[in-house]
Amino acid sequence: MLIFVFLIIISAVFYLYYKTKQIRTRLPVRKNWYASRAQIALGSFIAFFGINQLFVFQTVVTYIIAGIFIVLGLALIVHNFKANRHYQAFLDEETRLNP
């Protein structure tokens, strides 16, 4: 499926973008916020890769491995979405305290 290839590429680009932003910032909360956003992109990359493999190869081994990828990707997305919301609450305060 071409749509999943596009989504995989977009996820990889967002991962690299947020990792670069994480490395460049010096503020600790913002660094953690960018790290959680990068991990969300990585989780979506892994999940989309697993879904794409279901359409490309259709064997029992592929179904098992793709299932593991999908579950791992969704777990990364959920966990880091919660972390992202946690750090989001402190961004304004950190920006205000560090001009």
pTM (two decimals): 0.91
pLDDT at 28: 94
Look up residue 46 and give its amino acid: I
pLDDT at 40: 98
Mean pLDDT of 39-62: 95
**∠62-65-70 over CA atoms, to 5°?**
115
pLDDT at 4: 94
Domain that holds residue 25: 2-97
State what percent of residues in the chain have pLDDT above 90. 92
The total domain count for the chain is 1
Sequence-separated (6 or more) residues with CB below 8 Å from residue 5 = 52
Residue 99 has pLDDT above 80, yes or no: no
Mean pLDDT of 34-41: 98
